[in-house]
Amino acid sequence: MAAPPRSGIRSDACLPFAGSGPATRPAAAGERFPARTRLSLRLFAAFCVAGAFLAPVCAGAQTSENRWRGLVVAPEHRCSPYSRADYRYPQSVEPKIAAAMGGWIYGPYTGRHYGSLRQTDIEHIVAVSEAHDSGLCAANRETRRRFAADLLNLTLAAPEVNRCGKGGKCALDAAEWQPRMNRCWFAGRIVAVRLKYRLTIDSREAAALDDVLSGCADVNLSVAVPTGAVPPTTSTATAGRTLVAVPAGAVPLPEGALPSPAGSSGEPVDALRLWDDNGNGRITCSEARRHGIAPVPEDHPAYRFMHDADGDGTVCE
């Protein structure tokens, strides 16, 4: 999937007349808008009826100037109470997520492989509370349930990555949290999900995503295959995903870009960024096992950052 064309966030020429600034006082009982907003709307109307030559300016500002990559840019707004129960999904979607990644039980955010689905959480790329405040607060329960179980918006992640806590994604948006791997895929998927469900996006998140997407060759998902592993499939496309399994020593750059089908991009993998969890410049067996790369042979990119006590060319056997 090619990356969307670059499209910067444009300022809305008529936005000041739409009451975007703070009101001088809140709306009184029975008033629909605060005083400053009512004045702004009256001024806006006066400008728009002052002459036919102004009509294209006003119309253009209202229809295009507040959009980014097809999404309406607007502050988050909780138009109805949020309940997690409205966004239930069946646990049966978890194997489908793995199947969509070619059968790997894999966390795209960290590049970590898992031995069982019991080790992972189902992760909503656009958090359900974020989606609620971006437009689904006005949707019916059926639409909310459909969103919650949509494979387009689902992936796998370790509990400490998915949940709230130090470094966890929790319900944060892309202006507040981004993965260390597959950022192009992550950004592209957010745009696709928001477009599908006609969700708005706030200006801070749009700016953060634009910074990522402007440097992306494409928005495909890349999986680094552990040395010696045989992928269940080498290439598959399901629910809008494209998977290409590549050798662990040839993770493509920039993150999220696809290598050639043979995985011959030749770019070196940043082993410390991928597997050195505590940032001390070394990779331990605990870290290697946590990321599913143990045992580590001498031709693995992590090997030179590890201690081979018996010198047999394999660590953590």
Q: Are residues 49 and 141 in the same domain?
A: no
Domain contains 7: no
Q: What is the pLDDT of residue 238?
A: 40
- pLDDT bin (cut points 50, 70, 90) of residue 12 is very low
Q: Are residues 244 and 221 in the same domain?
A: yes
Q: Are residues 104 and 251 in the same domain?
A: yes
Q: For residues 52 and 103, what is the distance between their CA atoms, to the nearest angstrom?
A: 60
Q: How many domains does the chain have?
A: 3
Q: What is the pLDDT of residue 35?
A: 53
**In whole angstroms, how large is the CA radius of gyration of the chain?**
24
Report whether the peptide linkage leading into residue 261 is cis, meaning its omega lies within 30 degrees of zero.
no
Domain contains 47: yes
Roughly how many angstroms between the first and final C-alpha of the chain, as a whole number?
A: 39
Q: Are residues 260 and 279 in the same domain?
A: no
In this prediction the pTM is 0.58
Domain's final residue, options 27, 47, 65: 65
Least confidently predicted of 56-70, 82-96, 158-172: 56-70
Q: Classify the C-alpha dihedral 225-186-167-117 as positive or negative.
A: negative
Q: Are residues 57 and 133 in the same domain?
A: no
Q: Are residues 126 and 195 in the same domain?
A: yes
CA atoms within 13 A on the CB side of 215: 10
**Residue of higher predicted confidence among 27 and 145:** 145
Domain contains 236: yes
Q: Are residues 102 and 131 in the same domain?
A: yes
Give the domain extent around 43: 15-65
Q: Are residues 224 and 306 in the same domain?
A: no
Q: Are residues 144 and 177 in the same domain?
A: yes
Domain contains 165: yes
Domain contains 9: no
Domain's final residue, options 65, 81, 105: 65
Q: Are residues 168 and 183 in the same domain?
A: yes
Q: Tell me the three state secondary structure of residue 277.
A: coil
Structural element, H or E, at residue 222: strand 221-225
- pLDDT bin (cut points 50, 70, 90) of residue 61 is very low
Q: What is the pLDDT of residue 298?
A: 78
Domain contains 113: yes
| Encoded amino acid at 31, one letter | E
pLDDT mean over 107-130: 90
Task: Please state, for a pLDDT cut of 90, what percent of the chain lies above it.
Answer: 36
Rounded to 5 degrees, φ, ψ at 188 are: -65, -35
Q: Are residues 261 and 203 in the same domain?
A: yes
Which of 141, 127, 231 is closest to 189 using CA atoms?
127
Helix residue ranges, H only, 163-218: 183-196, 203-213
Q: Are residues 176 and 235 in the same domain?
A: yes
Q: 57 in the Ramachandran plot: left (φ > 0), alpha (ψ -120 to 50) or beta?
A: alpha
CB 315 within 8 A of CB 283: no
Task: Please state, for a pLDDT cut of 70, what percent of the chain lies above it.
Answer: 64
Q: For residues 44 and 19, what is the distance between their CA atoms, to the nearest angstrom?
A: 10
User: For the chain, what is the mean pLDDT?
Assistant: 73
Q: What is the pLDDT of residue 18?
A: 35
CB 114 within 8 A of CB 120: yes
Pairing of strands 67-68, 71-72: antiparallel
CB 220 within 8 A of CB 257: yes
Q: Tell me the three state secondary structure of residue 183.
A: helix
**Residue of higher predicted confidence among 109 and 19:** 109
Domain contains 6: no
